[in-house]
Amino acid sequence: MPQHPDAPLPAPRVLTRPMAMALLAPDTTIRIDAVVGYDSRDPHALTIAFHLLGEDPVVWRVDREMILTGSLRPTGDGDIRLRPDPDGGLLLRLGPTGQRAVVRCEQEALGRFVRDTFVLVPQGTEEHHIDWEPLLASLRL
């Protein structure tokens, strides 16, 4: 349920953490630098910014609960699918058919980051961190 319009939003909280990941190509593995981020104003999602060859990173938004589920069993649908890797990693399959990339990250490091987000915004309280006013204003037009 959205907050009452007069209730102030909690102060935004942001977490970021650099994380080495690996792009799995058919014949090789390529190390890539990534930054995992969380902003309490978008409380359900993490961002993963992959720093590749260009100046601008490639950014994906991933549901934080999906990451925890993907650590235990395959999950996801469409352009984002996750599954545990037997050696302690987490495999992220990103992109549409024919343009997919498979990225491996350390399951424990990413899981620790996700747990930190639940300290900032506990499960079930996400709606209290969303500014609903822009959406409500657009509906009044």
Mean pLDDT of the chain: 90
Mean pLDDT, residues 52-65 taken together: 91
How much of the chain exceeds pLDDT 90, in percent? Answer: 70
Residue 22's contacts (CB-CB under 8 Å, 6 or more residues apart) are 29, 30, 31, 32, 103, 104, 105
Domains and CATH numbers, the chain: 14-140 (2.30.31.20)
Q: How far apart are CA 141 and CA 136, in angstroms?
A: 9
pLDDT computed for residue 140 by the predictor: 78
Mean pLDDT, residues 114-130 taken together: 91
pLDDT computed for residue 132 by the predictor: 76
